[in-house]
Amino acid sequence: MSVSTAAAARTVCAPLPVLGRDVTVPLVTGGEVTYAALDYAASAPALQRVWDDVAAYAPYYGSVHRGAGYLSQLSTDLFENARRTVTEFLDCRPDDQLVFTRSTTDSLNLLARALPAGCQVFVFETEHHASLLPWQDAQVTYLNAPRTPRQAVETLERALADRDPHGPALVCVTGASNVTGELWPVRELAAAAHAHGARIVLDAAQLAPHHPVSVQDLDVDWVAFSGHKLYAPFGAGVLAGRADWLVAADPYLAGGGASRKVTRREDGGVDVEWHESAARHEAGSPNVIGAYSIASACKALTEAGFDSLVAREEYLIAEVRAGLAGIPQVKVLSLFGDDAPRVGVISFVVEGWNSSHFAAALSAEYGIGVRDGLFCAHPLVRTLLGSDPQTQGECGAPEAAPGEKSLNAIRVSFGAGTPDEHVERFVTAVRELVSEGARWQYRTEDGRCVPAV
């Protein structure tokens, strides 16, 4: 990136205001510092706009769909308007359904429960566990990690060509890796899936907070994402896409709201008529605040303009990557290579350091929050680190004491709310730790590396 381009990118837009931007944390070496939240890929901080919208609604909170009172009616309108807002944000087709869930994981498990009998599922080993594991009850084909976007498409095409062409099939693919941040060729993969009579679901958990996601433009059949990665707390997610498989499946949860009519039979049992709308898979009292917070975040990102947000994020990515590239002991993990487009998610290892030790030092000595471990993408990280992708491990838990060889990595991630100063401080901290070492002693406690006291 040229100097002029970098300067332009920096001034495209200021960071979006987020909660916690002024929080200070203590350092083990003494004093306090403003916390640098660089773990967006796990949970992004809530946008101030989202928090304000929720606070304004909170006094009017009421039951949804089945209440005659004013607050119930208001909450019902809010919930359904949120559905329309998110539908527009995703550019869904007119006849698509949008179901509010708990998370991406919940969304993909819902879809897994809705698969037609005999459905074949194709998924790359590079997926987050949320999109790798829900298909255990189906006939699953796990595809090896590709090393280029073109190889990803070719790998999928070969696998689909060998399948039974008469039965249903589903491809599950991420939009942006939660480990490397690299963008996947979703449109090309969707075309390959459809050419072989398969459908495709997009895990947009890491894509939607950084880039616009259009169901119609990408030509995917479903899309899933989580509110907590889209600057919206309160534990809600989304599954949006074609209605037929969802309507044909039994409800994900049986209970009130999913049922249209329940009657007793003469033999003592009950007959149930289920809704055919999204309510079919939204049993129980819906998370209206969670849904509203997602809709608020969608509005905020749309109004800020993704062109500006992407331009600024690309500047931050370039700054971090250039800084890490100048430290010989640091190895950045990548599937597709240095030139691959990506979002603000970068994983790396540091020669001579246990990743948990390094992440603990960033936090305790510099007030910087990153993530270490295998990032709930064990096969991918182990492949990138050159180890057996079948080896099991526990999410986020280091497997060696500080200073010993570990198969974990460090992940830094950022987004629309990240100030320049946070990434600058991060690069400086990495350089200092590598050159000077930690200034504090650390020990292992409950599988985590923590400062010794």
- Per-residue pLDDT of 302-350, as tens digits, reads 999 999 999 999 999 999 999 999 999 999 999 999 999 999 999 999 9
The per-residue pLDDT for range 192-211, each reduced to its tens digit, is 999 999 999 999 999 999 99
By the 10 Å C-beta count (0-12 exposed, 13-18 middle, 19+ buried), 102 is classed as middle
162, 184, 109, 412 alpha-carbon torsion, rounded to 10°? 140
Q: Is the pLDDT of residue 383 over 50?
A: yes
Q: State residue 329 phi and psi, 5-degree precision.
A: -75, -5
How far is the C-alpha of 171 from the C-alpha of 71, rounded, in Å? Answer: 42
Average pLDDT, the chain: 92
Measured between alpha carbons, how far is residue 391 from residues 8, 122, 143, 284, 356 in Å? Answer: 46, 21, 17, 39, 19
Estimate the crossing angle of helix 355-366 against helix 420-436, to 10 degrees.
120
Residue 17 pLDDT:
97
Q: Are 334 and 182 in contact (CB under 8 A)?
A: yes
The per-residue pLDDT for range 61-96, each reduced to its tens digit, is 999 987 889 999 999 999 999 999 999 999 999 999
How far is the C-alpha of 70 from the C-alpha of 35, rounded, in Å? Answer: 42
Strand, helix or coil for residue 148: coil
Q: For the ranges 167-171, 239-243, 390-394, which has the lowest average pLDDT?
A: 390-394
Q: Is the pLDDT of residue 217 over 60?
A: yes
Stretch 425-444: mean pLDDT, rounded?
96
Residue 407 pLDDT:
75
β-pairing, 368-369 with 36-37?
parallel
β-pairing, 409-413 with 442-445?
unpaired
Report the predicted TM-score, pTM, of the whole model to 2 decimal places.
0.93
User: In angstroms, how far apart are the furthest CA atoms of the chain?
Assistant: 79
- Long-range own/partner contacts, residues 73-82 (CB < 8 A, 24 or more apart): 75/288, 78/288, 78/292, 79/286, 79/288, 79/291, 79/292, 81/295, 82/288, 82/291, 82/292, 82/294, 82/295
Stretch 426-434: mean pLDDT, rounded?
98
The set of catalytic residues is 376
Residue 406 pLDDT:
54
The per-residue pLDDT for range 91-137, each reduced to its tens digit, is 999 999 999 999 999 999 999 999 999 999 999 999 999 999 999 99
